[in-house]
Structure 1
């Protein structure tokens, strides 16, 4: 199994938000934006959303919901994540760059940024 590192997440069942303190050096505006994204997602769709960095530094949206949760909106989930990936593309790419630089120790040159 790949090593992943959770950045943040929200749980619609417990109405809780989680932010990994290892990322505390991120600017407050980014932390606030992540908080809003996660909470709005769970309010709109339900379930549990986590944003996790994969082994390669790619930021992924992970969604879980128990089978017996008939209120969970599976189609809405896919659409909401697509919406975030489009609307927040710059933020998500910047977070991946941050993670690859500070957590994976990659030397990111300007030529690597496309």
Structure 2
């Protein structure tokens, strides 16, 4: 059973961005930051990037490419994901907490 939910994603193939409307309650600034992040990623390395919540509420960055895509930068993709995980750590942690509280119904464990 696959309980993953896609938050957003972008594709270099059809030059489109997707944002899951279930998360429209997120502040516009966060939605904009996710949009920019996804589009810049696919413009830089190619392929498709998806930002996904797994069944435990952890945020995952997933990439895909078409088999015959010789322009896709596989090494650049791995490096760029690591860079995003470092630079956007606070954003990703906040999104995970948001998802766990509002979608999984877990109790909020705020800092005291």
Does the alignment reach a TM-score above 0.5? yes
The equivalent residue for 2:84 is: 84
**What are the ranges of 5 or more consecutive residues in structure 1 without an aligned counterpart?**
none
The equivalent residue for 2:93 is: 93
The equivalent residue for 2:64 is: 64
**What are the ranges of 5 or more consecutive residues in structure 2 without an aligned counterpart?**
none
C-alpha distance in structure 2 between counterparts of 1:31 and 1:110, whole Å: 23
Runs of 4+, deviation exceeding 3 Å:
none
The equivalent residue for 1:106 is: 106
* Corresponding residue SS for 2:61: strand
How many residue pairs are counted as aligned between the two chains? 112
CA root-mean-square deviation: 1.2
Question: Is 2:37 aligned against 1:26?
Answer: no
Taking structure 2 as the reference length, the TM-score comes to 0.96
C-alpha distance in structure 1 between counterparts of 2:73 and 2:98, whole Å: 32
